[in-house]
Each structure stands twice: as C-alpha cells, then as structure tokens.
C-alpha cells in the first residue's frame, strides 16, 4: 500500500481513493512526507510489522499499523531520510466495490540516527513506535 502511494502518478485523472483513508488528503500526506523530494531519491528499504488477522470485532475499532520507508538521495546515497506511514484498516465497502484493505492515513519523518546502521534502521524505528 505504501509503495503504491509513493509511486502514485500525480495526474488529475487518477484518484487515490483506494489508497488513502477516507478524510485524509493527498496534500496533508505530501506535506508530512515531502513527496516533492521523491524525484531525487530512491527507496532503499521498507519495513512493516508482520501481518495479523483482523477479527470482525477488531475491524470496528479501525486498527492501525506502521510502515517505515528509508529513502536515499540518488546523487549522494549517504544522505538518507526515514518516513513512517500509518495504515488504517478499512472493512470492505460494497457500495464502492472496494475489498477490505489497509489505507494510508498519516505520515511523519523519523529523526536521523546519530550513527545510522548500514542496514535495518527501519526495523529499529518500528520497534520504537510499536503499539
């Protein structure tokens, strides 16, 4: 879901209804994740919590989960930033023909570590932000 959002073409013809949580706008997500910088960056790593089955009683509580994305500057890969996206569970919406799914509801930039590890900083970020 997060990859689909990050790679989403920004033309006026494509609506991200299936990717975003109802009430969340592309503008507010883009402001939090600095989407305009993606043209000069590449995705280095994506980490998420292991999948969990959602019981019907849990679905009514709108569970959330997090996904961490590590980005590196194309021209200088040592320059990195980490984004954490919040995904919210959405039950099936038969009126719109949408299956149950996770949608992107928020984003924030994780502060860079003092000594970034070569690999796996997203795993560390997720362990700090665990519910």
What percentage of the chain reaches a pLDDT higher than 90?
27
The pLDDT tens digits for 96-121 are 888 888 899 999 999 988 887 777 78
Q: How far is CA 43 from CA 25, 82, 105, in A?
A: 23, 10, 20
Closest CA to 4 of 17, 19, 14, 15: 19
Is 63 inside a domain boundary?
A: yes
Segment 29-52 mean pLDDT? 86
Domain count, the chain: 1
Is 10 inside a domain boundary?
A: no
pTM: 0.83
Is 7 inside a domain boundary?
A: no
- Contact status, residue 90 vs residue 102, Cβ threshold 8 Å: yes
Is 1 inside a domain boundary?
A: no
Rounded-to-integer distance, Cα 63 and Cα 102, Å: 9
Strand order in the sheet with 64-73: 41-48, 64-73, 80-90, 101-110
Cβ neighbours, 10 Å, residue 68: 22
- Most confident range (mean pLDDT) of 14-18, 28-32, 54-58 is 28-32
Residue 85's domain comprises 16-128
Is 36 inside a domain boundary?
A: yes
More confident residue, 52 or 31: 31
């Amino acid at each position: 879901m997060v990859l689909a959002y990050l790679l989403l073409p920004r033309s006026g013809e494509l609506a991200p209804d299936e990717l975003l949580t109802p009430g969340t706008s592309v503008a507010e997500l883009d402001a939090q994740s600095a989407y305009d910088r993606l043209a000069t960056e590449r995705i280095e790593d994506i980490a998420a919590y292991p999948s969990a089955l959602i019981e019907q009683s849990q679905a009514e509580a709108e569970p959330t989960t997090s996904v961490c994305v590590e980005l590196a500057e194309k021209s200088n890969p040592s320059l990195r930033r980490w984004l954490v996206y919040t995904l919210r569970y959405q039950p099936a919406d038969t009126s719109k023909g949408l299956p149950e799914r996770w949608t992107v509801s928020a984003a924030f930039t994780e502060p860079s570590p003092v000594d970034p590890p070569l690999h796996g900083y997203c795993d560390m970020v997720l362990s700090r932000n665990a519910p």
